[in-house]
Structure 1
Amino acid sequence: MSSPPQHHAGAAAATWTAETFDPPLLAEGGSLAARWLGPVISLGIFAAVLWQLRTMHIAQVVDMVPRSPLFWLVFAGYYLVTPAADFLIFRRLWNLPAAGFGALTRKFVGNEILMGYIGELHFYSWARNRLRMVAAPFAAVKDVAILSAAAGNLVTLAVLAAAYPFLGALHLGLAPGTIVMAVTVTLGTSLVLLAFRGRLLTLDPTDLMFVGGVQLLRVVVTSLLPALLWHLVLPQVALGWWLLLASLRLLLSRLPLLPNKDLVFAGIAVVLVGPDVAIGGLMTMMASLILATHILVGAGLVLAEFALGED
């Protein structure tokens, strides 16, 4: 059996064992699931890439995107901030090598084009097969995912508190009961995490604070950078309006029980910015550009993974 992980928090790390923290189905040597999980998910990502290609109009996207180098620099930062934040976290927890950045980028793409948390399973498989010094990677992957969701909820609640006085003036078309129920679910999940953190989380408090801080910063950055991208495309609209829209976009994207979020957001954008601004074209261009990037990055990483014979 692998030795305990070389983690700097000695007392907590010494208790980490695969039997304690890894699901029995996936524990190394317990079944073939751990061996085949990564390749199966990689094939799923590649299949999703091929499926998404049928909806892409690449020439149309190329015609719409700005040619400004600043736009592309900001876009690259926006796209990479999530895997970069994960790399900082797992570099601290596991002394993750540079090759781990590719695995974390695959995790990000898998979550985006397949389903939420499928990327965590893929990264778990990669860590299980590649990082032999990590006896039980599931514990850390689980804690990071939980704190990511908690950070998103925290920022969402803060945005809601700030925007609540203005919600009536925006004419969102939402019944007050819908908003109250959505906030209740969001707040409830955070309270459950707080109440059962001793049982749900296994990292030591110092690491939990570091992971939580990085995740909080990631949520804020990924919420604000779209505003700068929108402003670079439509500079005639003041950046302040885009910042407000970015905050409301975060709020709508994370509130559960809310149907037609994209339509609601488009309506808000028209109300705030004005019907004469090409809001629809802007949002379509950004969505298509992000999807095209997912397709290119996902296909490239999966092909490289199989070409190099990685697990």
Structure 2
Amino acid sequence: MIPIADKPPQAIAMDLPKLEEPSRRWPKLLLHVITAAMVVAIATSVSRSDIETFLAAVAAQPAFLVVLAALYFALPIADWIIFRRLWRLPVAGFPVLLRKRISNELLLDYSGEAYFYLWARQRASLTNAPFGAIKDVNIQSALAANLVTMLLLLVAYPFLTQLNMGRYASASLWSALLIMAITLGVLLFRRRVYSLTRRELVEILGIHLARLAVTTTLAAVLWHLLAPAAPIGLWLALAALRLLVTRLPLIPQKEVLFASIAVFMLGRNAETSGLVALTSASLLAMHLIVGAALVVGAFWPGREAR
């Protein structure tokens, strides 16, 4: 018998437990529960002031909506490209990835992955072992985010020192070191962690890195549209801070948390801190718009990917 550490990724993937033809009642029930929780989370998270702020920003700067939409849909598009390569996921599966994003951001980290897993588990035509692929894609996403966060922190460090971080400066440093340690740990034990092939892992990492480069740039462009006089270094520092906050586990509504931290650190710079809060409110408004469209689409004939 070949030890598991010496097996190639393809052999490990073949050894993963295959899904039996399941009793499909409990996965469907859980899917409905997560969907209902997502709807409740959207309804309770998005306030009337968020919608009004969003509409005012769009009226003042029409390009704001275009950049915001690109920022919002970048993650599900990247996920769709990845699972299209792995499973030949059809376009009709894209709404599921939107639900995954909303669930992760408004409910709890990885609740979206649980939703996606349950959805994929019911579709043997896509894959008969979805857990390994979803796990590896998420590890690669976290690895890419850690690498980009560390790079941005290094580039933006001179500007980060100008923020009002106070006693949180050392905590931020330790958080960055923890991110580096986790990244090195994943690389060190990669043979025991992954189940996909090396080629697939490299492709997935590349897609996630490209997505992070796009979303970081779009966030900076979004802020620059509304405050063109602010220095680019400030946007770099805030982009690094935003990525660092998104790496915090088990915290819903991270955009709101980032906005709160940014407003605190920017202090008297009311215009800039207001723009960060505006971005957060606009992303919540996007959740409401997309969530409402998904609820309506759930009743549309032929909605499910087969």
- Tell me whether 1:151 sits opposite 2:144 in the alignment: yes
Deviation of 1:43 after TM superposition, in Å, equals 1.2
Indicate the SS of the match to 1:130: coil
Deviation of 1:180 after TM superposition, in Å, equals 4.0
Give the structure 1 partner of residue 263 of structure 2. 266
Distance 1:299 1:13, change over 3 A: farther
Deviation of 1:170 after TM superposition, in Å, equals 3.9
- Give me the whole-angstrom Cα distance separating, in 2, the residues matched to 1:116 and 1:75: 22
Letter of the aligned partner of 1:266 in structure 2?
V
- Give me the whole-angstrom Cα distance separating, in 1, the residues matched to 2:241 and 2:50: 29
- Give me the whole-angstrom Cα distance separating, in 2, the residues matched to 1:284 and 1:226: 13
- Give me the whole-angstrom Cα distance separating, in 2, the residues matched to 1:265 and 1:127: 38
- Give me the whole-angstrom Cα distance separating, in 2, the residues matched to 1:190 and 1:136: 26
Give the structure 1 partner of residue 30 of structure 2. 37
Residue by residue, what CA displacement relative to the aligned partner does 1:154-212 show, whole Å, maximum 9, x if unpaired?
Answer: 11122223344554444421366424432332122212212222122110000000001
- Tell me whether 1:287 sits opposite 2:280 in the alignment: yes
Aligned residues of 2:88 and 2:126 also touching (Cα < 8 A): no
Letter of the aligned partner of 1:75 in structure 2?
L
Distance 1:306 1:197, change over 3 A: farther
In structure 1, list runs of 5 or more residues that go unmatched.
1-10
Deviation of 1:102 after TM superposition, in Å, equals 1.2
Distance 1:149 1:163, change over 3 A: same
Aligned residues of 1:56 and 1:292 also touching (Cα < 8 A): no
Distance 1:48 1:56, change over 3 A: farther
Give the structure 2 partner of residue 7 of structure 1. none
- Give me the whole-angstrom Cα distance separating, in 2, the residues matched to 1:95 and 1:105: 17
Give the structure 1 partner of residue 16 of structure 2. 20
Aligned residues of 1:74 and 1:229 also touching (Cα < 8 A): yes
In structure 2, list runs of 5 or more residues that go unmatched.
1-7, 250-256
Q: How does 1:1-311 map to 2 (within 5 A)?
A: 16=13, 20-21=16-17, 28-29=21-22, 32-54=25-47, 56-164=49-157, 167-174=160-167, 177-254=170-247, 262-269=259-266, 275=269, 278-308=271-301, 310=304
How many residues align structurally? Answer: 292
Aligned residues of 1:252 and 1:265 also touching (Cα < 8 A): no
Letter of the aligned partner of 2:262 in structure 1?
F
Deviation of 1:225 after TM superposition, in Å, equals 0.9
Percent identity, aligned pairs only? 37
